[in-house]
Every structure is written in structure tokens, then in C-alpha cells.
Homo-oligomer: A and B are copies of this chain.
Amino acid sequence: MDEGERASLAADGEPSQLAAAVPPQPTAAGDADRAAGVARRAPGASRAAGIKEVAAAASVSLGTVSNVLNRPHLVSPRTRARVEQAMEELGFVRNESARALRAGSSRILAYVMLDPSNPFFTDVATGIEEVAAAADLSVFLCNSGEDAAREARYLDLLLEQRVQGVLITPVDAGGERLRTLPARGTPVVLVDRVAGAGEGCSVSVDDVLGGELAVTHLLERGHERIAFVGGPDALGQVRDRRAGALRALERAGLPPDRLTVLATGALTVAEGRGAAERLVGLPAARRPTAAFCANDLVALGLLQRCVGLGVAVPGDCAIVGYDDIDFAAAAAVPLTSVRQPRHLLGRTAAELLLDEASNPAHTHQAVQFTPELVARASTVG
């Protein structure tokens, strides 16, 4: 294509200025298409071709075409070839809505995730996809964005779609939809959360233990005033990891007020940066000498801003993250973190879901894995 067909914008730097260009003005682009004109739709058919048109074109019955699609072994090779050719010519595409309507369920799994920009969750998703692909199912990813309303919207949508099953790392583990889905016949497996008794399957990592490991490590290195950075409290991960932190203090015989809680609005890099400023703003006498962050994104933000503000890490403030994402080891100061078997988490969850969906003798399970501390320079100066 030649240059004139693009809506090239002036190279004037700031994205904010680029934003002014939206909605983009029509330009020369598209003329070529208008010329192509008629070719936009499939050649022959005035509307999308269905099984009926294919049957007519191949001079067979409806049922035979369906058999070619679903049980090819029942159809003689000659007929099959004829039908397949007709499909090809007409550009036939099976209508999945009709298939699902008749069959009662689809070939789709969904994973409703808290935050796809957190590599932890995408690694979990990869594990899920592997298992799903092996069972010839496809996975749709849904981003709840740590927002209970969005999460609920997606769950309703998935229920209406009659998906095979739903994997979810919930914002709101107590939400009513988490109970209505299974009641309406859609299996649900909780990921990175523990299901209550009789509530269904779950696959998780012991977050309380993880929090305890992290803070015990800090205590062993001589820190006695520790910050817990994370939020919102609605997230079970946040509550559990903080509980673990408190348990570590208790075991060490220290009072709970040695833990300063810096609440964040979300588990993101940006919130971590904000927390750094609040941390640095504390009077020196009360300022913690170490921080345990509810996840690595927060930890990386905290680390970045601390360094920027001249707070030495780990000298002035040691930092422990959670998840041990790839970036943790690559950070300005390599980050000590609590590692979870994230890939395995996804695989196991998907296996449980498939079992629940297809095995009538399925028994709910709450599988729990064990986290592990990975010490790096952000605590071991």
C-alpha cells in the first residue's frame, strides 16, 4: 500500500496530543475498498449459507450434512467428498449458536481473572489453556479488573452462554453468583482462593503461610518495624497474606502494632509508587525498616519510587514481594519474593473443572499448594 492511504499523524511527540486525533478523520484510506465494493460479502450467497443450502447444493438431505460434520464415519466417502466440496464452495460456517442450543452446552471454558497485566495470572491462564486444549476446549479470558460489578456481569454473561465451566479468581469470594452458577449447572472452580465447605472445588496456595514466610524472613534479618503494603481488603489474597504477617509477629513474640498497614486501592505498580511516598512521609521514629507487599507489582512500584526518593534498598528499607513474577528478578534491586506454582495452579484447576463437568461421580476438592520464599538482594544487602 502507498503512503497516501494512511491517516498518518504528525510526529509531534506526546501521546496526549495524539489523543486529540480521535475519532480519526476519514482520509484517503478506504477508497480502495469502496472500489472493491461488492466483494465484501461471500460471492454466491445473498446471506450466510447454512446446512440447508449445503444439502441442496450437494443433493443430499439435511441429516447427511450434519453427519459429515459430526460423525463422518457414518457417511460414505463419495458422499462426504461431495458435501465437503459444497461446503467449500458456499463458504459454509457452522452456526455455533444453533449447535449449542440443540446440544445444551458449548465447547468453551472461561477464566475470569483479577488483572491480566499481572503476569502471575497470565501464567495461571497458560496452565489452564494447556489442559483445555488437550480436551479440545477453548478458553476465553475475562478481565474483572478487581471490580465486583464487572465480575458479576461476566458471570451472568457466561451463565447465559452456557459455557462448559468457569474458572475464577474472584474479587468477591462471597458473591451470590459464585453460588448460583453451580446451582444452575455451570461448574465453577476457584483459583487462588479456598472454597468454603461444600461450596465447590478450589485450587490455591497457602497465602497465610506465604505471608508468614515473608515476614519471618524479615524478622530473622533483624527488622522489627514492618510495613504491610496492599489492598483493597476485599481481596482474600490481601487479607490472608496480612494475616500471615501477623502470625509471624506473634510467633516471634512481637505485638501486632509492629505491623504498619499501608492500604492501596489496587495491586498495581502505580499504587506501589504511591505507597512509597506515604512510607517515606512517616516520622523517622515510626517508619518501618522493611516492607512486605501483597504482590510483586506493588513491590516493584514501591521499590522504584523508594530508589527515586533516595531511600536505599535494602539499607533503609528492605522489600519482600509476592508471586515471584519474571520481572521480580530483573528489578533495579532484585526482589525477594514468595513463589507460587502458578502454572501448576492453572493446570490443576482446569483438571478439576473438567472432572466436575464430565464425571458424574465428581467429588469437590480444595487443593492447596505450598509457597516458597526466594531471597534476593532486596532483603539480603
Q: Which residues of A contact B (CB under 8 A)?
A: 1-2, 5-15, 18-19, 21-24, 26-27, 29-30, 32-36, 39-42, 48, 91, 93-101, 106, 110, 116-117, 119, 122-123, 125-126, 129, 138-143, 145, 153-154, 157, 159-162, 180, 182-185, 194, 196-200, 206, 209, 269-270, 300-301, 303-304, 326-327, 329-334, 339-341, 344, 347-348, 351-352, 363-370, 372
Residues of B within 8 A of A368 (CB): 6-9
Supply 10 further A-B pairs (C-beta < 8 A) apart from A22-B347, A33-B199, A300-B326: A1-B194, A10-B370, A33-B197, A35-B198, A97-B162, A98-B101, A129-B143, A269-B326, A270-B326, A331-B332
Q: Given A95-B162, A365-B24, check contact A12 B370 (CB 8 Å).
A: yes
Residue of B at shortest CB range from A150? B133
Q: Given A1-B196, A116-B125, check contact A91 B183 (CB 8 Å).
A: yes
Residue of B at shortest CB range from A341? B15
Q: Given A48-B185, A101-B95, A101-B101, check contact A5 B332 (CB 8 Å).
A: no
Residue of B at shortest CB range from A326? B269
Contact B364 A30 (CB under 8 A): yes
Contact A93 B184 (CB under 8 A): yes
- What's the Cα separation between A310 and B281 when bound, in Å? 36
Contact B30 A365 (CB under 8 A): yes
Residues of B within 8 A of A269 (CB): 326-327, 330
- Dominant SS among interface residues on chain A: mixed
Residues of B within 8 A of A329 (CB): 304
Residues of B within 8 A of A140 (CB): 110, 140-142
Residues of B within 8 A of A365 (CB): 7, 24, 26-27, 29-30
- What's the Cα separation between A301 and B351 when bound, in Å? 32
What are 12 residue pairs bridging A and B, where the CB atoms are less than 8 Å apart in the complex? A1-B197, A15-B339, A23-B351, A24-B352, A24-B365, A29-B366, A40-B182, A48-B184, A48-B185, A116-B122, A139-B142, A330-B331
Residues of B within 8 A of A21 (CB): 367, 369
Q: Given A18-B369, A30-B365, A116-B122, check contact A93 B182 (CB 8 Å).
A: no
- What's the Cα separation between A295 and B167 when bound, in Å? 31
Residues of B within 8 A of A139 (CB): 142-143
- What's the Cα separation between A125 and B144 when bound, in Å? 12
Residues of B within 8 A of A26 (CB): 363, 365
* Shortest beta-carbon contacts, A-B, top 5: A30-B363, A141-B141, A15-B341, A96-B160, A117-B122
Residue of B at shortest CB range from A117? B122
Residues of B within 8 A of A142 (CB): 138-141
> How many Å from the CB of A91 to the closest CB on chain B?
6
- What's the Cα separation between A369 and B39 when bound, in Å? 29
- What's the Cα separation between A130 and B19 when bound, in Å? 15
Q: Which of A27, A182, A344, A367 has the most CB of B within 10 A?
A: A367
Q: Which of A126, A194, A352, A366 has the most CB of B within 10 A?
A: A366
- What's the Cα separation between A159 and B157 when bound, in Å? 19
Residue of B at shortest CB range from A347? B22
Interface residue from B161, B330, B363 paired with A303 (Cβ < 8 Å): B330
Residues of B within 8 A of A300 (CB): 326-327, 330
> How many Å from the CB of A291 to the closest CB on chain B?
15
Residues of B within 8 A of A106 (CB): 97
Q: Given A22-B344, A351-B22, A365-B30, check contact A125 B143 (CB 8 Å).
A: yes
- What's the Cα separation between A142 and B2 when bound, in Å? 32
Residues of B within 8 A of A194 (CB): 1, 6
